[in-house]
Structure 1
């Protein structure tokens, strides 16, 4: 499929789903996935929590979604699922389970056909590029598609104007990502050289950015680099985790542009006072030209995610540990 067709197809798929919203009364959104795909869901939950007066959102691991069997799951529910190749067994079963309860099911995947697609009412094929590489269409990357779906729901249900601002801002993401690639590659190399032998690296963030910290911790550091890690919520940092901090303990602090930034600023102050080996990635330092002011807080996770992918590539190279290397995943029964 050509680049132009990929963009048009994704936009058509999203528009079809938004039309379907008009035929339903949706009061709950369940965001269901595993691993990195689950981490994608946090910004959309944050958006719904902040903006909606009639819709509640929850993020679920795919398997727990089935076992927990939420009492509100039913005909008034929208279940959004994600699996990169559409083959995650737990997510496919979750889609099947949601449909059996009468929910509207929408699944995101990179591929066009997969088991997950067969169990979903609608699918959206998002654009994707390997870590550190520029996505030809960041406006239809997985995070962006999720925002289109959740902001589109509130536009239909509540007349929320953020959807229109999102659509006018997304075309400018290409320039944002190019800015990041140009300006963050050199610092990423320096970070990789300094941190390549660390046995543990913690990540920290809050609000819409927490999922990004979680993804980098479990997917990049633990899964792809075999480095011990944990994503710490900036607000929870002061309720136990800060006791691990000393001059030698590495931290990566993400600073976004949403309403929870004061928590990240408080964490930064403490890191400066009591730590020494920490990296701060601040979305304020990104060139947001063309992006609506009200959208920057919501889109900051997309920028921070790409920055971390640039860092991941350089860290893997410095450690001579390819991001594709695995011990267990897809290799042994589990």
Structure 2
């Protein structure tokens, strides 16, 4: 069933939806964030929230009932906490949409509606999960409240794959330079704002801490000047992800400060890939996808120079936890 048809079916059954909850763990939770950000920014009546799965399970919101839509997400569809959250939402009477790459997984069987995303084959395929989550949000908003920029958003969801494929063609030299420069750093800080905020978070906790065993921290660059900027100094390593959208002024303010004190700064800027001209008026909601794809190349090059494959683990999937 197409996403548009899924939401139309839910609306027939639940015309008075009041809440939309996004639930996942780690990277999958982060990849739901642009959808949550978009819907929260544009909905006038709907209540929106994003949960890590076990918090949703242990501290279940009172709004989880028959007037809720719950979107759960797991790449392989086997994350136990997310499967449990999906089952809980069904028990509470919510309409549950699961997003996964595995249509035969436990998560795929613990939902009312299934959206299977791509993953292998290209960098744009790896953004399919994030994009499908965003399209679900677009359809929820348009069908329940109406949305004047609906056509532009749908066009963006259809066009972003080609934009990503073009963007990644040009970044290998910069990615190699980044890897050579940052490979021996003891800690790397990552920050952004707007729809891209959780891209910084997921790169920090997943690509650096999980997959490279490198110490890292992430924060919203709107919060940079309310604590974290005190660690800024010459050669302290930062990655700054700059949006093409309304929160760019916060990104720019952070960059000015980092440059002022000669911090070791790598900038990945959505504007460098023509996003604003290709998707006028809605580029900010697609900045996370382009930046995530580019960051993937940076991570791959870091793994090469550190001789530490992105697949290497010492705890995850190897012991009981």
- TM-score after normalising by structure 1: 0.92
For structure 1, which segment, 238-247 or 83-92, has the greater mean C-alpha deviation from structure 2 after superposition? Answer: 238-247
2:89 matched to which residue of 1?
98
Runs of 4+ in 1 over 6 A off after TM superposition: none
State the 1:87 CA deviation: 0.4
The 1-side partners of 2:20 and 2:68 are apart by 6
1:165 matched to which residue of 2?
152
Match of 1:14 among 3, 12, 17: 3
The 2-side partners of 1:290 and 1:277 are apart by 30
The 2-side partners of 1:264 and 1:158 are apart by 31
Q: Kindly indicate whether the alpha-carbon contact (under 8 Å) linking 1:13 and 1:123 is maintained by their aligned counterparts in 2.
A: no
Q: Kindly indicate whether the alpha-carbon contact (under 8 Å) linking 1:117 and 1:123 is maintained by their aligned counterparts in 2.
A: yes
The 1-side partners of 2:23 and 2:152 are apart by 26
Q: Does residue 34 of the first structure (1) align with residue 21 of the second (2)?
A: no
Deviation by residue 1:204-231 (Cα, 9 ceiling, x = unmatched): 0011110100110011000000000111
Q: Kindly indicate whether the alpha-carbon contact (under 8 Å) linking 2:178 and 2:302 is maintained by their aligned counterparts in 1.
A: yes
State the 1:82 CA deviation: 0.3
Alignment of structure 1 residues 304-323 onto 2, 5 Å: 304-323=291-310
Q: Does residue 135 of the first structure (1) align with residue 132 of the second (2)?
A: no
Q: Does residue 146 of the first structure (1) align with residue 133 of the second (2)?
A: yes
Give the gaps of 5 or more residues in structure 2: none
SS of residue in 2 equivalent to 1:86: coil
SS of residue in 2 equivalent to 1:74: coil
SS of residue in 2 equivalent to 1:310: helix
Q: Does residue 192 of the first structure (1) align with residue 188 of the second (2)?
A: no
Q: Does residue 243 of the first structure (1) align with residue 216 of the second (2)?
A: no
Match of 1:204 among 171, 177, 191: 191
User: Could you say what the CA RMSD is over the residues aligned between the two structures, in angstroms?
Assistant: 1.6
The 2-side partners of 1:157 and 1:58 are apart by 17
SS of residue in 2 equivalent to 1:134: coil
1:81 matched to which residue of 2?
72
Give the gaps of 5 or more residues in structure 1: 1-11
State the 1:274 CA deviation: 1.4
Match of 1:107 among 89, 93, 98: 98
SS of residue in 2 equivalent to 1:41: helix
State the 1:257 CA deviation: 1.6
Paired residues in the alignment total 319
State the 1:290 CA deviation: 7.2
SS of residue in 2 equivalent to 1:216: helix
Deviation by residue 1:38-96 (Cα, 9 ceiling, x = unmatched): 10121112111211101121110100001111011111111100000100000000011
The 2-side partners of 1:307 and 1:273 are apart by 26
State the 1:136 CA deviation: 5.2
State the 1:291 CA deviation: 3.4
The 2-side partners of 1:117 and 1:178 are apart by 29
